[in-house]
Amino acid sequence: MIASLVRNVQDFSLNEFCKERAPKDELNYMWLGIYFMIYGFSTMYSTRLELVNDESKFIVVVYQIMMVTGVLKAIYPVWPPRIKHEITVQVAWYIVVFIC
């Protein structure tokens, strides 16, 4: 059992993991971006920066990252083909979902 766990860890490839499990349809990336934008706007609207005092600058940075990420994902179908590298987008899917 431990030997098979060690073998699985040694054979793990992040690229292959992302390639197998990331969405294949471009519209999924677009819908994720739209979701991030709606979620970002609703969170921004409901947060009172006066109540978080010292962390307000950090929260504003997080909101900016969410909005930029949402817009970039929402316009994914119109990205030029030369920057639509399959593995880059698939790895970015997991990074973006984790961050936002």
Q: Quick one: which of 89, 87, 94 has its CA closest to 76?
A: 89
Global confidence as pTM: 0.71
Q: What is the pLDDT of residues 17-43, one digit of tens each?
A: 777 777 778 788 889 889 889 988 898
For residue range 56-69, what is the model confidence (pLDDT) as tens digits?
A: 788 888 888 889 88
Task: Give the CA distances from residue 41 to residues 25, 35, 77, 80, in Å, rounded to whole numbers and listed in that order.
Answer: 26, 10, 22, 27
